[in-house]
Structures are given as C-alpha cells and as structure tokens.
Structure 1
C-alpha cells in the first residue's frame, strides 16, 4: 500500500503555480536567507526586522522542493543522491561560517531536503518497508538538525508539503495540511511565547506563517502567465554553498 497513491500534482503544471513563479519564490527565499545570515553573522545585536524577513526563507524553499519532488517519482533516488552529496560538501563551510553561533554537530539545511527526498525515494521503491526505513532515518537526524535547520518541525513540514501535493485523497490532504500548519506555527519563537509573547509573535511566529503566503501569492499573480523558468537548473546548490563561503571569507577579512 502506497502512502502517496498519486505521485503527481493533481493540477497540471502551471495551474497551481507556474514554473516562472516557482523560480521567483526560490529567488525571494534566497534573498531572505541572505539577509538572515548577514544579520546573524555581522550585526550585533541582530536586527529583529531582518530576522523576521528571514523566517520566510525555509517555508518557501520547502514549497519549491515539494513541487519538484512530486513530479517524477522515478527520479527521487537520483535527486536524493545529489542532495546528500551537496549537503556533505557544504557542511564544512557551514560549520566554519557559523562556528561561533552553532554547535559543531549542527547540520545545514540541505540535509533536511536530502532526508525528506530519501524517505520519498525509499517509499516509492519499497513501499511500507521503505517508509519505515525513511522515518527511522529522519528520526535519527532530528537532533543534529535542531540547532540550525529546524529539526523535527522542518522535516515534518517538508513531508507534509510532499504529502499534500502527491496525494489525491481529500482526507489525506487535510491531515497533511493540519500537520504542516502545526509544524509551521511551532517552527520559530514558540519556546519564547510565554516569556516574551509580543516579540515572539511579531518577529518569529507571524512572519513564519504569513510572509511565505504573501510571497507565494505575489509571485503567482505577477508571473501567472509566464511558464518558462528563468533560473538555471540546480542553481540553489551553488548559491547556497557559495554564499556561505563568501560570508566565511568576509568574516575572516
């Protein structure tokens, strides 16, 4: 029995969000991530407004990943292999760049996409046994992903998004939506909600929930009629590793 009975988007590509809009969302997410990393590494104290903008980066990246992951399930293992490779290549640069902000064992964000894609690939190839193996793999990575890459909530959001896009059953999609919403709301600032409710809501929780929908909606409306992609394929891997390397050099200078 397959968890994702219909491994494709229910709507034709472009009717949900066009390829050009997906690239626009990816570009917005990358710019938000740049501001967030610059704020963390070079501003003391960090600016809360830049922190708030940075909260939309990961959910937007999850959206673009989930749309891509659901299109060709036969390529899932190939995609997972590529993501594992880039995650391991990037890890030394990531660890050195954030050596004063994060513990040594903290994993970069590419490991979230690699683990989630690997679960989908195992399930597609081996059914329930593959699903169990993928869940064990993701579970083993929640701790090292927690300091810098959203941990359990990040993995749950990724898998919920993939479930929502890949399933054709209304009930299953509702479960995925609720699960993803819980992960999204608890991803940032929830631990500070009791002690500092105002800042936690304004600069962490609300930006995480609201800004991704605003960015996606604007990109979809502006580029609805444009179907052609404008970003090079796999540019995110180079941009992610490259910006970390640039910030590392800049810090040393």
Structure 2
C-alpha cells in the first residue's frame, strides 16, 4: 500500500499530514474538546454523549504532537512552547475546573509527553518496552499516584511516545498504544451505571476507531496549504475556557 494513501497506522510518511491535514485534525480535536468542556463546566457532566466524544480530543492533540516530531520538529522547542503557554493558562484552567488547583492542564501533559517521546525515540527497544510496562503497571496498580500532577496523568504522558513509536513501527508498538489508550480512563470518572473497566474499554474502543478515521479523512486534504493562522490553538485553548467560565458565572 502506498504510504501516502492516507490513514493513521498505514501513513508511514508523516509529510502526508503537512499543511491542511494537520489543521483539520487540530480543528476536530478543538471541537470535541469544547463539547467536553461545555458538558463539564456548564452542564455539570449530564451530557454523557459530549463527554464520551470528548475522550477523542486529547488523543488527537497527541497525534498532532507525534506527527510534528516524526517530521523532525525540535522536541525541546516544541515542549518549551507548550510550557510558555501552560504557565499563564493554568490560572484559567484552575478557574474552570475544581481539580485545576492541584493538577496541571493538558498543556503540561503534552509538554512532558513530548519530552518522553523524544527520549524513547532515541532509546533502545528494551528500554522502550520497559518504560511502557512500568508506566502501565503504575496506572493499573496505583491509580492515585498515576493520575496526580497533570491532566490524564501518567497514561496521558505515555500516549505521545506510544503514538510516535507506532508511526515508526506499527506492528511492534500498536499493542502498547492500545494498552495506553485503555489506561487513559482506567480509573477516571465514568457515567452512572457503568463500571470503571467497562467505561475505560468503551472509551478506548471509541478512540481507537475514531482517531484513525479522523486521520484518514484529514489525509484527503494532503497537498493543500494550512488554513489556521499561526498560534490559533494557543490562543483558542485559554480563550474558550475563559468564555465558558464567564458563562457559568452569569448563571
């Protein structure tokens, strides 16, 4: 199969997603993120459909990160740019979510994930496998430890390297990617009436189906120029949170 035919796991050439395809993935992630945050901030978690679809947003953002790194982006500069945005945004994040006072936003998760992805990309196979095995053991056996510090916790940090290495060598790293995706919501909030493991597996199935489909659809735009202004998402992330917090304050 021609690697430029599109798709997620089959697109071995990340250049397929340069320009408009990558912007399309970003827009899909942003839209799903807003729905999730509307549910959390304004609807008190009652719109389960918005919440469930929102589970796809973070993996899409991680896919964008992995594609940038696979195309040769400097991981140091990439991570630093995320941290420069994360620090001033944290106050807005804390105002939006009750756990924001003790937990870093998704921007800190992505920055840490970018650093780990760059490290494991240069590491040997044994260290890669040991890292995923040890990390997922903590996710399952010590959820309180695994979910502290940043949004999506340890599993969220493991997702960018799992995606990057899957782009490099799908047969070897797809199992780890699937396991990390399950771990994203293993001990998280779940809808009333669902057990935690059923919810985690449902969310994992949704992610593992929808993320490749989104990438496949976006690859249809290959060859077209990007349409988002530079730093559009950097402004959009704190901006949409501030608007939702203001709407909540207005009742």
Q: TM-score range by the shorter chain?
A: 0.7 to 0.9
Structure 2 unaligned spans of 5+: 1-10, 139-144
Task: After TM superposition, give the deviation of residue 161 of structure 1 in Å.
Answer: 1.2
What's the C-alpha RMSD, in Å, of the aligned pairs?
Answer: 3.3
Which residue is 2:245 aligned to?
Answer: 248
Structure 1 unaligned spans of 5+: 1-8
Contact 1:23 1:229 survives alignment (8 Å): yes
Which residue is 1:174 aligned to?
Answer: 171
Q: 1:144 aligns with which of 126, 146, 149?
A: 149
Alignment partners' CA distance in 2, 1:203 and 1:119: 27
1:13 aligned to 2:11? no
Which residue is 1:118 aligned to?
Answer: 115
Alignment partners' CA distance in 1, 2:198 and 2:37: 20
Equivalent positions of 1:220-231 (< 5 A) are: 220-221=219-220, 223-224=221-222, 226-231=223-228
Output one character per residue of 1:124-153: Cα deviation in whole Å (capped at 9) or x when no partner: 8x979xx99xx8xx99986212xxx21121
Task: After TM superposition, give the deviation of residue 208 of structure 1 in Å.
Answer: 2.6
Task: After TM superposition, give the deviation of residue 218 of structure 1 in Å.
Answer: 2.2
Alignment partners' CA distance in 1, 2:111 and 2:45: 33
Which residue is 1:4 aligned to?
Answer: none
Output one character per residue of 1:100-131: Cα deviation in whole Å (capped at 9) or x when no partner: xx26211100011111223455678x979xx9
Alignment partners' CA distance in 1, 2:91 and 2:162: 29
Task: After TM superposition, give the deviation of residue 41 of structure 1 in Å.
Answer: 1.0
Contact 2:56 2:206 survives alignment (8 Å): yes
Number of aligned positions between the proteins: 222
Contact 1:188 1:208 survives alignment (8 Å): no
Q: 1:158 aligns with which of 156, 160, 163?
A: 160
Which residue is 2:64 aligned to?
Answer: 64
Alignment partners' CA distance in 1, 2:237 and 2:207: 20
Task: After TM superposition, give the deviation of residue 232 of structure 1 in Å.
Answer: 1.6
Task: After TM superposition, give the deviation of residue 214 of structure 1 in Å.
Answer: 2.4
Contact 1:190 1:200 survives alignment (8 Å): no
TM-score by length of 1: 0.74
TM-score by length of 2: 0.75
- CA, structure 1 residues 202+84, in 2 after alignment: closer, same or farther (shift >3 Å)? closer
- CA, structure 1 residues 206+120, in 2 after alignment: closer, same or farther (shift >3 Å)? closer
Alignment partners' CA distance in 2, 1:121 and 1:180: 16
